[in-house]
Amino acid sequence: MTVKKSSFSRGALAKQTGVNIETIRYYEKENVMPDPPRSSGGHRLYDTTHLKRLYFIRRCRELGFSLDEIRGLLNLVNSQHYTCAEVKERTTNQLENTRQKIRDLRKMERTLKEMVAECSGGMVPDCPIVDTLFA
């Protein structure tokens, strides 16, 4: 007895995962999502494997991983010869990248705060913010 895998359309996949249809197309084009098999009528037939992979990709994107980094993680997983240490190293790198972005954002916040504080917001054409941006 063979068990039939459930299959669904790209629209159903998008709805279930919360990922835009165009984004799914993009992931397929970028070879992050595998091409699904097609029905005899030519319609794409996604299954739970695609669903799980798309959830993985979406979660990685939410955590700031680039498509290349996701591709690397997926290659590790697909090889079935990865170690937890390898995944941890990549995730640790992402954590440090995120911390750097936070530092950069805090610096931007301080600079913007200083610029706003220097401006009276008056109705005159001289604006210290514009002056600072041109400096």
Helices (H), 21-125: 21-29, 48-62, 67-79, 84-118
Q: Which residues of the chain have a pLDDT value below 50?
A: 1-4
Return the pLDDT at 68.
95
Full-model pTM: 0.81
How many CA atoms are closer than 13 Å to the CA of 130, on its beta-carbon side? 6
Return the pLDDT at 131.
86
Structure tokens at 34: 């595998």
The residues with which 46 forms a beta bridge, in sequence order, are 8
Q: What is the pLDDT of residues 87-111, one digit of tens each?
A: 999 999 999 999 999 999 999 999 9
Q: Three-state DSSP class for 81?
A: coil
Residue 103 to residue 74: CA distance in whole angstroms: 29
